[in-house]
């Protein structure tokens, strides 16, 4: 083992953030590095009192300097934050890799995306305008996009460095005061990102942050009557609880939830494009990606041609310590490891053949949360492995004979996040793509989590509302119509 990780949070970033400063909470939680399975720091265990303070801070900001900050200045602040992230990218990537267990190369890519989110929304802040509406004689009618107020942002542990700017970027661009609640398993980089926003010059209270357990900090935040909107990214189950809280307070929310995305591969697909991308789409960050391509629907006539190439590439995937070169590191915690291995056990008890398995580096630590990537097939389309979100490096291969059957299988699950279609037949790709009840369709490419400019979100149990791209700005604002009579 070389270059053992030493990245830790800077000393001054401790506790929770409100009124532009870090405060001491009443309790603390250990943070554990997944590859080391050892605590290496601590985060604030926030509850009702800390959340009350954060909400009051956000409300005061809206009534104060932040509420009077012009859109162009909001954009400048975000753009500056993007440059600051870019300047500290390596330090942040080292911390992210240690905190989440993802290979350092992926963590570096996350920092590029993080800076780009700020660049994108920084540039957009002063370009969202309403319309003048032709109306009655003697009347002048316009619309404008106004902030929602205090927005709560609850994010998961898989890509915190991307989720943080993706969620607060458009909200700050539109003039909301934000409260970020990262997942208890991955807070380190979000804490530094919040501090960077302060350093960039956002006025006190524009950005606030509480950490802690979902059932405590997350529940206190989503139930708080002072919150005006909730942006939630996480599991379908927790999303249901957050929606109930939003309903009780009569506020809006966006839900980015789970997925079971299909890669539909036809025999005429280009192997050079298809093979690495299909494998990468399920092994990236150990399959802990909401838009992981966890179902491989393959035309039966490609079972002897393309499929062996995919299996061969899958068997070359390496599970490594995060600071080594390889495709995936550990999963995030012991619970997640048990969950993924539980699905593998189920597959094997039900006699599903293993078509390929990834390589476990001999240098893996004994205690880290590592699981072997496995590709099973053929899997019946109604088997749990083909329908449920595993959130691990497990690929279910499902053969199909006709285009109609491929569509029916792809659409048979309760999720609707993304889909990939692989074929040289353009008309067929378009025909199938337009039948997919998902938020994003990719043809001969796949952007698991990629594309800051591309609206992203789900249908069915994958959620509703759109993040990323221009449309996210509209989610974080309300349309106000103003009519004036002048005759
Ligand atoms: P999770 O739902 O357990 O946790 C997500 C967040 O919700 C965390 O910050 C957690 O602390 C908080 N939380 C937990 N209980 C809460 C409660 N009662 N009230 C309020 N907040 C609460 O999800 P996870 O295990 O961290 O993440 C994995 C899930 O997230 C997967 O299902 C994955 O598909 C989904 N996900 C979706 C997207 C997307 O954009 N669609 C992106 C990433 C992950």
CATH of the domain at 293: 3.40.309.10
Nearest to 190 by CA among 314, 63, 9, 27: 9
Same domain, 120 and 251: yes
Tokens representing 328? Answer: 């995936």
CATH of the domain at 204: 3.40.605.10
| Position 386 in a domain | yes
Tokens representing 119? Answer: 């660049």
Rounded to the nearest angstrom, the distance between the alpha carbon of 378 and the centre of ligand 1 is 31
> How far is the C-alpha of 52 from the C-alpha of 44, rounded, in Å?
15
299 catalytically annotated: no
Q: Of 36, 119, 256, 467, which residue is the catalytic one?
A: 256
Domain boundaries, position 434: 262-452
What is residue 84's predicted lDDT score, i.e. its pLDDT?
Answer: 98
Same domain, 306 and 445: yes
Q: Which residues does the chain have with pLDDT short of 50?
A: 1
Same domain, 234 and 270: no
The one-character DSSP state at 203 is P
Same domain, 218 and 270: no
Mutate to test the pocket of ligand 1, among 181, 234, 281, 282 (most ligand atoms within 8 A of CB): 234
| Position 460 in a domain | no
Same domain, 47 and 146: yes
Give bridge partners of residue 478 from the DSSP assignment. 146
Which tens digit of pLDDT belongs to each residue from 375-427? 999 999 999 999 999 999 999 999 999 999 999 999 999 999 999 999 999 99
> How far is the C-alpha of 292 from the C-alpha of 284, rounded, in Å?
8
What is residue 28's predicted lDDT score, i.e. its pLDDT?
Answer: 97
| Position 457 in a domain | no
Report the atom number in ligand 1 closest to the C-alpha of 184: 11
Tokens representing 57? Answer: 């801070």
| Position 372 in a domain | yes
445 catalytically annotated: no
- Check if 181 has its Cβ closer than 6 Å to any atom of ligand 1: yes
Report the atom number in ligand 1 closest to the C-alpha of 467: 40
| Position 336 in a domain | yes
Same domain, 179 and 307: no
Same domain, 266 and 253: no
| Position 11 in a domain | no
What is the pTM for the complete model shown?
0.97
What is residue 20's predicted lDDT score, i.e. its pLDDT?
Answer: 98
Mutate to test the pocket of ligand 1, among 48, 238, 287 (most ligand atoms within 8 A of CB): 238
Dihedral angle sign, alpha carbons of residues 277, 281, 285, 291: positive
Same domain, 221 and 307: no
| Position 304 in a domain | yes
What is residue 317's predicted lDDT score, i.e. its pLDDT?
Answer: 98
Same domain, 327 and 404: yes
Same domain, 302 and 211: no
Nearest to 331 by CA among 323, 11, 322, 272: 322
Number of domain units in the chain = 2
What is residue 5's predicted lDDT score, i.e. its pLDDT?
Answer: 72
Q: Write the CA distances from 487 to 133, 134, 138, 140, integer angstroms.
A: 17, 15, 5, 10
| Position 7 in a domain | no
Residue 284 φ/ψ, nearest 5 degrees: -55, 130
Same domain, 477 and 372: no
Same domain, 158 and 270: no
First and final CA of the chain: distance in angstroms? 80
Residue 108's contacts (CB-CB under 8 Å, 6 or more residues apart) are 89, 90, 93
């Amino acid at each position: 083992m070389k270059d053992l990780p030493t990245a830790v949070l800077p000393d001054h970033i401790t506790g929770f953030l409100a009124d532009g400063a870090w405060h001491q909470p009443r309790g603390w939680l250990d943070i554990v590095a997944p590859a080391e399975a050892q605590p290496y720091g601590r985060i604030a265990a926030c509850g009702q009192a800390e959340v009350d303070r954060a909400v009051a801070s956000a409300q005061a900001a809206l009534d104060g300097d932040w509420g009077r900050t012009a859109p162009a200045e909001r954009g400048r602040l975000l753009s500056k934050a993007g440059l600051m992230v870019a300047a500290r990218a390596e330090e942040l990537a080292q911390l992210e890799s240690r905190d989440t267990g993802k290979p350092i190369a992926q963590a570096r890519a996350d920092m590029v995306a993080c800076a780009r989110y700020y660049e994108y929304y920084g540039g957009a802040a002063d370009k969202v305008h309403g319309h003048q509406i032709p109306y009655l004689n003697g009347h002048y009618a316009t619309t404008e996009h106004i902030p929602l107020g205090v927005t709560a942002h609850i994010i998961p542990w898989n890509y915190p460095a991307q989720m943080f700017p993706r969620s607060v970027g458009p909200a700050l661009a539109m003039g909301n005061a934000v409260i970020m609640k990262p997942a208890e398993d991955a807070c380190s980089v979000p804490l530094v990102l919040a501090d960077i926003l302060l350093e960039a010059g956002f006025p006190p209270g524009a950005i606030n942050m509480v950490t802690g357990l979902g059932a405590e900090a997350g529940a206190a935040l989503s139930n708080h009557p002072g919150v005006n909107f909730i942006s939630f990214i996480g599991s379908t189950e927790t999303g249901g609880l957050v929606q109930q809280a939003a309903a009780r307070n009569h506020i809006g929310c966006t839900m980015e939830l789970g997925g079971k995305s299909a890669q539909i591969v036809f025999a005429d697909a280009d192997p050079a494009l298809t093979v690495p991308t299909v494998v990468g789409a399920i092994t990236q960050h150990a399959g802990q990606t909401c838009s992981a391509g966890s179902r491989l629907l393959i035309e039966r006539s490609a079972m002897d041609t393309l499929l062996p190439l995919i299996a061969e590439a899958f068997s070359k995937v390496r599970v490594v310590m995060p600071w080594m070169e390889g495709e995936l590191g550990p999963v995030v915690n012991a619970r997640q490891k048990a969950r993924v291995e539980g699905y593998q056990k189920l597959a094997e008890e039900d006699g599903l053949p293993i078509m390929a398995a990834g390589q476990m580096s001999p240098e893996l630590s004994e205690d880290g949360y590592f699981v072997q990537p496995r590709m099973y097939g053929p899997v019946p389309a109604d088997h749990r492995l083909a329908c449920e979100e595993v959130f691990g490096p497990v690929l279910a291969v499902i053969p199909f004979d006709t285009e109609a059957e491929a569509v029916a299988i792809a659409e048979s699950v309760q999720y609707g996040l993304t889909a990939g279609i692989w074929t040289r037949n353009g008309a067929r790709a378009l025909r199938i793509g337009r039948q997919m009840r998902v938020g994003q369709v990719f043809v001969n490419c796949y952007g698991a989590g990629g594309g800051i400019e591309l609206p992203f979100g789900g249908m069915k149990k994958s959620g509703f509302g759109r993040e990323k791209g221009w449309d996210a700005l509209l989610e974080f604002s309300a349309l106000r119509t103003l009519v004036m009579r002048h005759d």
